[in-house]
């Protein structure tokens, strides 16, 4: 079913509506709270509210600007289909607020969806998960709770975090019962609404005690409102926590594997698309996540692998840690190679050359630029004294923030034709659909000659662009040049 065609399920409530549109709490079956209104908390709760009108869903965040945006028409994140889902439930059973205390007091079930970035200081800096936001949340829950609650770990956390959560919540002096569940989120940005509506699976981990199993069933019941039971997997809590890290490690590993082979293709005249196609037809391998590119980005893959590596090292598993760390090393290598390739192709100097980056988001259909390869590329090109023009349909505001204070000449233009005009080279860094079908004749004629095109996502017809006159440098295939 198309996202825009989604119909809110009917729920017959004798519901008394307050004047502001909010239903009286006693008309809802349960009250859910989500702490953290980010890329995960916002869309996930919007979907639960949309599918389960019998639950009241409150979403709180310490960032008032973000909450204001969730309450406006200008949502804080771009995600296809998100706006419709939010509008369908907001003010009815979905509420965004900064009042964490009230939210905790009112709730029966609390999802914790705060950020867990890589630690930047002290022991484990650059590797371990920074759990300060998560721990502050745990302490707030403990402080303001005066009734039993189910606490759901939605954030991605190191395995065994639930134990720490329980210790904080149940430390001496608190008699309220908390049951901690792990319910990692597998949505991908850019397809979040589709992933939430028809997920491959939902994973719910719990303690295997009578209370744990009861709480697990409570959460399963919510998802079962729209997801077939056989897609809702239950497990012990540690397997659930670990599965999220492992899923991201395996996905990133596929990208690094295909990218590593793309480098060999460039040396041997093999074509990575042909190799990927051939190996992907093996049903044991499968054809997903086999596109060679400038490298993976996003807030999760790198941080979660590093988190896994750090855990392995902590348990003395040096070889295992080294194995997974190499996935990140290959990714760094891929970004470095892309820039080096640009430099060597353009006669070993980029100084004062105008270079247009098409795309800045870490992937298509999102405005998110966290860990985007484009940032590394932009900084390296500026180091070479190139002049940058950055274009992206959704990520320009984030790009400006990311590059604030970085020395060099940077222009931001949404229109790709304006951005490419007068440039010596165009580099496609994000696989936005619109970049496949731009009028490259028009772009070519507006550029400096010789005109270079570096396709960091292998999205354009290389032969066609070569025929137009471009010198074309794909990933993992021979360059097509007129020299
Ligand atoms: N982004 C993804 O695609 C994705 C997918 C699956 C899982 N995850 C995981 O989900 C978690 C959240 O990721 P995200 O991308 O939504 O992060 P985010 O940074 O977009 O959102 C986190 C939000 O939590 C808020 N916050 C922090 N501390 C708080 C507190 N004490 N009280 C209230 N609000 C607080 C922040 O202000 C922020 O708005 C992370 O652990 C991440 O690894 C992310």
Residue nearest to atom 10 of ligand 1 (CA): 155
Q: How far is the CA of 42 from the centre of ligand 1 (A)?
A: 9
Cα(61) to centroid(ligand 1), Å? 10
Q: Ligand 1 centre from 287 Cα, in Å?
A: 30
Ligand 1 centre distance from Cα of residue 134 (Å): 9
- For the CA of 66, the closest atom of ligand 1 is 39
Distances (CA, A) of 32 to 8, 26, 29, 35, 151: 19, 13, 10, 10, 10
CA distance 144 to 324: 40
Can you tell me which atom of ligand 1 is nearest the CA of 157? 41
Residues annotated catalytic, as ranges: 300
Cβ(137) – ligand 1 distance below 6 Å: yes
Q: Is the CB of 93 under 6 A from ligand 1?
A: no
Count of C-beta atoms within a 10 Å radius of residue 2:
6
Please tell me whether residue 25 adopts helix, strand or coil conformation. Answer: helix
Compute the average pLDDT of residues 66-84: 97
Which residues lie closer than 8 Å to 85 by C-beta, 6 or more apart?
3, 6, 43, 46, 47, 50, 193
Q: Residue 311 CB: number of other CB atoms within 10 A?
A: 21
What distance in Å separates the CA atoms of residue 197 and residue 84, rounded to the nearest whole number?
A: 13
Q: Tens digits of per-residue pLDDT, 258-298?
A: 999 999 999 999 999 999 999 999 999 999 999 999 999 99
Q: Is the peptide bond before 450 cis (omega within 30 degrees of 0)?
A: yes
Q: By the 8 A CB rule, do 60 and 35 touch?
A: yes
Average pLDDT over residues 434-459: 98
Over the stretch 76-125, which tens digit does the pLDDT of each residue have?
A: 999 999 999 999 999 999 999 999 999 999 999 999 999 999 999 999 99
- Probe residue for ligand 1, chosen from 33, 37, 40, 136 as the CB with the greatest number of ligand atoms within 8 Å: 40
d(Cα 230, Cα 127) in Å, to the nearest integer? 36
Q: How confident is the model at residue 207 (pLDDT cuts 50, 70, 90)?
A: very high
Cα distance between residue 130 and residue 134, in whole Å: 8
| C-beta neighbour count of 261 within 10 angstroms | 18
Angle 196-201-204 from CA coordinates, rounded to 5°: 100
Indicate the average pLDDT of the chain: 94
What domains sit in the chain, N to C, each tagged with a CATH number?
A: 25-227 (3.40.50.720), 238-483 (3.40.50.720)
Count Cβ atoms within 10 A of the Cβ of residue 206 and give its class: 0-12 exposed, 13-18 middle, 19 or more buried. buried
Alpha-carbon distance of 42 to 196, in angstroms, equals 12
What does pTM read for this prediction?
0.93
**Ligand 1 near 187 CB (within 6 A):** yes
């Amino acid at each position: 079913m198309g996202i825009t065609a989604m119909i809110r399920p009917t729920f017959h409530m004798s519901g008394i509506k307050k004047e502001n549109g909010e239903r009286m709490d006693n008309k809802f079956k349960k009250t859910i709270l989500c702490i953290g209104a980010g890329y995960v908390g916002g869309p996930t709760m919007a979907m639960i509210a949309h599918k389960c009108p019998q639950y009241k869903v409150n979403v709180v965040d310490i960032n008032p600007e973000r909450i204001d945006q969730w309450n406006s028409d200008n949502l804080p994140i771009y995600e296809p289909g998100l706006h419709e889902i939010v509008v369908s439930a907001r003010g009815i059973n979905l509420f965004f607020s900064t009042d964490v205390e009230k939210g905790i007091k009112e709730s029966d079930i609390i999802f914790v969806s705060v950020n867990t970035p890589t630690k930047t200081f002290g022991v484990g800096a650059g590797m371990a998960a920074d759990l300060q936001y998560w721990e502050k949340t745990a302490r707030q829950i403990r402080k303001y709770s005066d009734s039993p609650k189910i606490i759901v770990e939605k954030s991605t956390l190191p395995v065994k975090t639930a134990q720490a959560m329980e210790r904080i919540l149940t430390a001496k002096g608190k008699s309220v019962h908390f049951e901690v569940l792990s319910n990692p989120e597998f949505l991908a940005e850019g397809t979040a609404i589709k992933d939430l509506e028809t997920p491959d699976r939902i994973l719910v981990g719990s303690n295997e005690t009578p209370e744990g199993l009861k709480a697990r069933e409570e959460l399963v019941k919510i998802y079962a409102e729209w997801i077939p039971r056989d897609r809702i997997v239950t497990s012990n809590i540690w397997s659930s926590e670990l599965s999220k890290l492992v899923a991201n490690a395996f996905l990133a590993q596929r990208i690094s594997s295909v990218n590593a082979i793309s480098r060999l293709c460039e040396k041997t005249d093999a074509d990575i698309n042909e190799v990927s196609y051939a190996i992907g037809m093996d049903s044991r391998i499968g054809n997903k996540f086999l596109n060679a590119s400038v490298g993976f980005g996003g807030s999760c893959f790198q941080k979660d692998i590093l988190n896994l590596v750090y855990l392995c090292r902590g348990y003395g598993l040096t070889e295992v840690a080294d194995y997974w760390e190499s996935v990140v090393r290959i990714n760094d290598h891929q970004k470095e190679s892309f820039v080096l390739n640009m430099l060597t192709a353009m006669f070993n100097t980029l100084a004062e050359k105008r270079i247009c980056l098409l795309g800045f988001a870490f992937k298509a259909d999102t405005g998110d630029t966290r860990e985007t390869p484009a940032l590394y590329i932009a900084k390296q090109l500026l180091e070479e004294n190139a002049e940058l023009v950055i274009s992206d349909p959704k990520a320009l505001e984030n790009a400006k923030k990311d590059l604030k204070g970085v020395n060099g000449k940077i222009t931001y233009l949404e229109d790709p034709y304006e951005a490419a005009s007068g440039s010596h080279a165009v580099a496609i860094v994000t696989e936005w659909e619109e970049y496949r079908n731009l009028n490259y004749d028009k772009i070519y004629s507006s550029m400096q000659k010789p005109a270079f095109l570096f396709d960091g996502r292998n999205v354009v017809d290389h032969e066609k662009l070569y025929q137009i006159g471009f010198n074309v440098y794909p990933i993992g295939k021979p360059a097509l040049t007129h020299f």
